[in-house]
Amino acid sequence: MNFNKTGLDFKDEIEKSLKEVLNINENNAIANYNLALLYLDIDMDLAKYHFRKCIHNELTRERAQEMIEKIEAVENYDKAVELIKLENYQEALKILIHLYENNPDNLDVIYYIAVCYRNLGLNEKALMYLYELYSKLEVPEVNIEIGLNLASLGYYQEALRYFKDALKLKPNDSSIICNIGVCYLYLNETQKAKESFELALKIDKDDKIAKSGLRKYRVTCKKAKNML
């Protein structure tokens, strides 16, 4: 007896058996449902096809419909993320809001809704979602987003708190340090701004924001000297 069969071998045998059943009766609900489950992590389109084949049966109808809805939610989420990458925030937001309404506990959806609102200049709306997320999740990305929105609204002191918290969770991140430097610059704490930008450049010598920040620091210092 061979005990060395892998999980993949068993899956292949199960798939073969289910297909044999469907060759006899292509509308067999149980076979379609189990084949769909088998394809779930391999090919979502195939999984959805077989789930649809067993919606007519009262034994599998409810579970199959639930699975189809879950697959479509994943597909829509992936589409929204792609739209964000393409900077099509308005269209991404339409999809994400619909997903949120159906599943308000999806933290990834909440995060990307906030990202869309920030990029559309709707910082107050972004913060509404981010504060909800902040109460449930402690990750640097949430702190950074809150900081960016607060800074955009001119609340630099408050933004600093969230950027510093983000840095605790993600030390030596040059982009976070640059954000801290920018806040200090707008708060006229020029020496702290300079130190932040220089630290960011030690971590990433090509950081454009840090280079730009140092140029602004020098201009600010020059103006101050001319006023003396």
pLDDT higher than 70, residue 222: no
190-214 pLDDT per residue, tens: 999 999 999 999 999 999 999 998 9
Confidence of residue 42 (pLDDT cuts 50, 70, 90): confident
The gap from C-alpha 149 to its chain's centroid, in whole angstroms, comes to 17
Phi-psi region of 122 (alpha: psi -120 to 50; beta: other; left: phi over 0): beta
Instruction: 136-139: list long-range contacts, CB under 8 Å, 24+ apart.
Output: 136/107, 137/107, 138/169, 139/169
* Percent of residues, the chain, with pLDDT higher than 90: 76
Q: Cα separations (Å) of 152 from 34, 37, 127, 202?
A: 51, 47, 11, 26
Averaged pLDDT of the chain: 90
> What is the mean predicted confidence (pLDDT) over 24-29?
91
Per-residue model confidence as pLDDT tens digits over 116-147? 999 999 999 999 999 999 999 889 999 999 99
pLDDT at 5: 44
Mean pLDDT in residue range 176-200: 95
Entry pTM: 0.80
User: From 1.10.390.10, 3.90.1150.10, 1.25.40.10, 3.40.50.20, which CATH number describes the 9-80 domain?
Assistant: 1.25.40.10
